[in-house]
Structure 1
Amino acid sequence: PRSIRLQQQRAILYKQLKVPPAINQFTQALDHQTACTQLLKLAHKYRPEMKQEKNQRLLAQAEKKAAGKGDVPTNRLPVLRAGVNTITTLVENKKAQLVVIAHDVDPIGLVVILLALCCKMGVLYCIIKGKARLGRLVHRKTCTTVTITQVNSEDKGALAKLVEAIRTNYNDRYDEIHRHWGGNVLSPKSVARVAKLKKA
């Protein structure tokens, strides 16, 4: 299929061409242990409600109001926020605690700026494999970025542990990551050609 062929061609280009640091940093995804057992487990608790759940909640509120119990003000529950524009605003206002970005966003320029902004504003960020994984968290097919703005008191310890691991892997190493170019790996044909020329 065409989509698979494009993926393969893109992978070959990323391997063989010189990849600038701004794009190469997306190869530094979070390790499986931290991503699956800690980050996704925590994020799963804060999935936004689905349409049916929202309707049920609003119906229950309306019934209470109709029964004469008064309109009880409810606090907004902490949930994941998704989408580049929403998250950019949250980062600028320093309301985001942790920004999670997918490594396979296309076009990549959408999130390159977000990484620089996170570092400038001192907001923690991490890169995770698979935009479909992030999409599942927010009931979509794919999602470029999600952010945790606040958590319940019982999850603060888990978030603190996660933040520590992510800070050492990403924010503290930002300058170092931005010095490393990627790609420039010769194909087997080119390696054979170079070897042949050396022999001659």
Structure 2
Amino acid sequence: MKKVTKKVRVRKVAPLPSLVANKSAKDPKKIVDPLIQKKAKNFAIGGDIQPKRDLTRFFRWPRYIRVQRQRAILLERLKIPPTINQFRSGFLDRQTATQLFRLFDKYRPESKKAKRDRQKKEAESKASGKESAPSKRPPVVRFGVNTVTTLVEQKKAQLVAIAADVEPIELVLHLPSLCRKMGIPYCVVRGGRSRLGHVTRRKGCSAVAITSVAPEDRLSLTKLVEVVRTNFNDRFDEIRRQWGGGILGAKSRAKITKLEKAKAKELGQLQSTGAAIA
């Protein structure tokens, strides 16, 4: 009889995943030299190289940035009188300011190019022998502290816009009181120096007044005057009572809280001892 032989299949073990195989191939066991001893790092003066840290707090900023920061903190800490505080808190709202500058942009002074072209045309007509009739000055915004002050004193200004970020503030400090006395509507504009400067084609401008407008813009000017008068002129008594600043820093507040707690604790102990004696 023939012997029947059974075939035995040998199952192969599945290979390792590629990530594990690569790791094991890359990270062989490190050979440590017994002569080299592990030593903790010393970060004291004259020790090891310091680790990288965020040194923003110790960065020496330019002088103008330091002055800006110190000024901002001082304006928070110190008590600001109402006369100055009105240039820091009560501004014209965004919607009204947009309408105001839209109106001002229509009455910007003529540019240098436009002035040159106008003068050239006048010279050409004069050279050709034509008699040009004297043209009436178009209505434009008037700017500058002295000019605006004169217009307010003469009651010629219909609306005055004052920049809130004038430096030094003493230049425009008199304008709100003067406008109120003369019955001229005035407003304080946030970030106004650059915005008013754009209107007057200058780098910056501290105050702008409008004396007259075209007939089609009279209605919009009347509406603006009403809003401005309600928000500023009619609230003058309220504005001159509002002080600013006086906000303590975190350290000062923590110190005051600590003292108050200590006082309360001492008072509680005295009361308890008094009750025990009684």
- Is 2:167 the counterpart of 1:106? yes
| Among candidates 91, 115, 121, match of residue 182 of structure 2 | 121
Rounded to whole Å, the distance in 1 between the matches of 2:64 and 2:116 is 38
Tell me which residue corresponds to 1:183.
245
Tell me which residue corresponds to 2:36.
none
TM alignment of 1:7-18, pairs within 5 A? 7-18=68-79
For 2:174, what is the secondary structure of its paired residue?
helix
TM alignment of 1:52-63, pairs within 5 A? 52-63=113-124
Tell me which residue corresponds to 2:26.
none
- Is 2:194 the counterpart of 1:132? yes
**Larger relative helix fraction:** 1
Tell me which residue corresponds to 2:204.
142
Tell me which residue corresponds to 2:135.
74
Rounded to whole Å, the distance in 1 between the matches of 2:65 and 2:212 is 38
Residue 52 of structure 1, CA deviation = 1.4
Unaligned runs of 5+ in 1: none
CA distances 1:38-88 after superposition (whole Å, capped 9, x unpaired): 011110111101111111011112223333331211110011111101111
- Say which structure, 1 or 2, has more relative contact order (CA 8 Å, 6+ apart): 1
Rounded to whole Å, the distance in 2 between the matches of 1:165 and 1:89 is 24
Rounded to whole Å, the distance in 1 between the matches of 2:114 and 2:184 is 31
Tell me which residue corresponds to 1:88.
149
Residue 22 of structure 1, CA deviation = 0.3
Residue 125 of structure 1, CA deviation = 0.6
- Is 2:158 the counterpart of 1:158? no
Unaligned runs of 5+ in 2: 1-61, 263-278
Identity of aligned residues (%): 58
Rounded to whole Å, the distance in 1 between the matches of 2:198 and 2:155 is 26
Alignment: residue pair count: 199
Q: Report the RMSD for the aligned CA atoms in angstroms.
A: 1.2
Amino acid at match of 1:53: A
- Is 2:101 the counterpart of 1:40? yes
CA distances 1:95-133 after superposition (whole Å, capped 9, x unpaired): 111111010111111101122111111111100012111
For 1:127, what is the secondary structure of its paired residue?
strand
Rounded to whole Å, the distance in 2 between the matches of 1:107 and 1:90 is 22
